[in-house]
Amino acid sequence: MDAKIREEIYRLHANLCKALADPKRLLLINALRDDARTVTDLSQQLGLSQSNVSQHLSVLRERGVVGATRTGNNIYYALENRKIVQAIDILREVMAEQLQRRSEIHEAVTQA
């Protein structure tokens, strides 16, 4: 693979990871898992201010994670690619396995 292409892929990868590196943005992605929603819907569902939701959606839009579609007076946000949910789910499985191993180690140490 060409060095410039490889560098661009890693840059895009890092930018996507930065978009996912915030708990509120992960909550937003999860809330958009099944259906498109408005800022108001997301704000009410997650208990966040509309301005905060808008700020985080802006970051996710810039990084290509979500897109927006206007329907009348409403703007609906949706995931651009469903694979992002799969990736997040895999990461959650990895974390659950890590927590399980830590728990097992802690239990073994305390019983020794």
The predicted pLDDT at position 75 comes to 97
Over range 99-108, report the average pLDDT: 87
Q: What is the pLDDT of residue 105?
A: 87
Which residues is 71 bridged to in the sheet? 74
Whole-number pLDDT of residue 33: 95
Q: What is the mean pLDDT of the chain?
A: 94
Residues 6+ apart with CB under 8 A from 53: 28, 39, 42, 43, 46
- State the pairing for strand pair 74-79/66-71: antiparallel
The pTM assigned to this predicted structure is 0.84
For residue 105, give both structure tokens: 């180690």
Cβ-based neighbours of 33, under 8 Å, separated by 6 or more: 79, 85
pLDDT band at 95 (very low <50, low <70, confident <90, very high): very high
Cβ contact 31:49 at 8 Å = no
In the structure encoding, which two tokens stand for residue 88, read together?
Answer: 């997040």
Q: Would you state the pLDDT for residue 61?
A: 96
Q: Which of 85, 74, 66, 73 is nearest to 39 (CA)?
A: 74
Q: For 37-73, write each residue's pLDDT tens digit.
A: 999 999 999 999 999 999 999 999 999 999 999 999 9
